[in-house]
Chains A and B, each alone.
Chain A
Amino acid sequence: MKTIDLESSRDTAFMDAVACESGQELKSCYQCGNCTAGCVYTHDYDLPVHQVIRLVQLGQKEQALSCRSIWLCATCQACTTRCPNNIEVARVMDVLRHMARRQGKTPERLVKTFADSFLKSVARHGRVFEAGLAMTFAIKSGKPMQDAGLGPAMLTRGKLAFAPHEPSNQAKTEVAGIFDRFAAGKPACHAEPTAATTEAKQ
């Protein structure tokens, strides 16, 4: 069992950043475990979701951002739906993944590769080009044959478009612009929860 010195390793800036970026008050989590009980991904997680939340509560940045669980959350929203304290748990998992990305941590390399390939396709075509995404992923993943068997079924049913179904050049430029400005960097979090989000949580 791993021992953690809670005093020396507590990172309050991390705790504040998670609260700010997610807009969630994690102090209200009393570790009932309802999120974990309903999570169908617990089987594949290295840390069950309530423990990830606990690590954030204790300011354990390194452990929270290194786990595989934050990459394997599919945002199915069972946790958020069932949290008795109205914490948007899935949004917190999202924010932890954002932070892990920014720190270059990728314990689930292919999950990151898939998301990156998807967004690259959107940045280029304005919409996802499914066949192109599948090909790119097959090559980048190092598992080119995994879904090769699905090809014939899709082809014979006309479910695989060979050319991207693109919007106008104007729309493509606008979408590419969003990605360019995103890549140029963003300011640090200074968001305050507003009436709209507070209301929606109730």
Chain B
Amino acid sequence: MSVRLGYYPGCSQGSSAAEYDISTRACCKALDVELVDVPDWTCCGSTPAHTVDHHLAGALSARNLRQAEGAGLASVTTPCPSCLAALKTADLHLAEPAFRTEVERLLGGPAPGHVDCKSVLQVLYEQIGAEAVTAKVKKPLAGLRVAPYYGCLLSRPPALMAFDDPENPVSMDALLRACGAEIVDFAYKTECCGAAFGMPRLDVMTRLSARILGAAVEAGADCVAVACPLCQMNLDLRQGQVDSAAGRAASNLPVPYFTQLMALALGLSDADACLNKLVVPLEPALAKAAARAREAAAAKAAKEAAKKQSKPAAADAAKPEAEKEASCA
């Protein structure tokens, strides 16, 4: 089943999060999701706008919803959780007459009607699904241990985002498992990374990101998969700052977007996966995972060979137990 959606990239997709944009577009194409760019989109206002004024934030987002509506796009998807929260918040409050009036004053024209907004993660999980992903996997991420990090906003607050579990989201787990990865038990899935405090309060941001990276290392993860440009920047680009503030050796933990991992599994090109944009390289982790997968396969083969060799004896030994089970049933 093919899906057609408006696509709102968000400002960072053109520069600091280019790999998220490229890998998202490539994965969607491979999975039959048609993305139509919202024409002439502008900034949603993100966090700074709502911390200054709710109507200002509403108007900046509403302009984009109006652009989507004008292009006949009733549903819009965005890879960025902060953009998503801004768009959904505006859409929700535009139903209030007083809010709508003030937003229309700021827009200098009519505000849009309802536009359905979803994260790319939600679209891939709900509208495509893990099974359909598995069916298209060409190079399984066998042996790769991934800590899935969702960040604050993808499923929170639940009344607004209406997606996945607010405390223990599992959508990314399912998609990456469908890609053959091993998902480690990770308790920091939704703990805040320090968000936009990297510039104004680096001390606050490094303290929070240090906990997340530390927990992922402790969980035995080869990498942390993310779905947010700001989380990615804090955990990857600023990883050196985080480790040095925590007074510890380099974590050396790659932080790819989940769409980059999916692109690899779907057998898409290097240009689509864009691994060269990551600050902490993923390749060593992939090599380690491949070696681990080979070892596991060899161990399994050896075990089977051993089983085959001692088959008559094993069959005899198993017999009484099988009989016992049968009698129990």
Which residues of A are at the interface with B, using a C-beta cutoff of 8 A?
A: 21, 40-41, 43-44, 72, 74-78, 80-81, 86, 88, 90, 94-95, 97-98, 101, 108, 110-111, 113-116, 118-119, 122, 126-128, 130-131, 134, 137, 141, 146-147, 149-150, 153-154, 157-161, 165, 167-168, 170-172, 174-175, 177-179, 181-182, 186-187, 190-197, 200-202
Contact = CB atoms under 8 A, between A and B. Distances in A.
Nearest to B94: A196
Contact of A78 (B43, B156, B198): B156
B92 A200 contact: yes
Interface of B is mostly: helix
Interface of B: 11-12, 14-18, 40-43, 45-56, 59-60, 63, 92-93, 95-99, 102, 105-108, 152-153, 156-160, 166-167, 190-192, 194-202, 204, 207-208, 237-238, 240-241, 276-279
Contacts of A81: 156-158, 166-167
A197 B59 contact: no
B279 A157 contact: yes
**Which residue, of B108, B200, B208, has the highest number of chain A Cβ atoms within 10 A?**
B200
A49 B156 CA distance: 18
17 contacts: A76-B156, A76-B195, A88-B157, A110-B199, A110-B201, A115-B52, A122-B42, A128-B43, A137-B199, A137-B200, A149-B241, A157-B276, A160-B15, A167-B41, A186-B53, A186-B105, A200-B159
Main secondary structure of the interface of A (DSSP, over half): helix
Contacts of B59: 178, 182
A10 B204 CA distance: 33
B56 A78 contact: no
A17 B94 CA distance: 20
A202 B277 CA distance: 42
A154 to B, nearest CB: 7
A114 B199 contact: yes
Given A119-B48, A182-B56, A196 B18 contact: no
B9 to A, nearest CB: 10
A86 B49 CA distance: 24
B85 to A, nearest CB: 8
Contacts of B191: 40
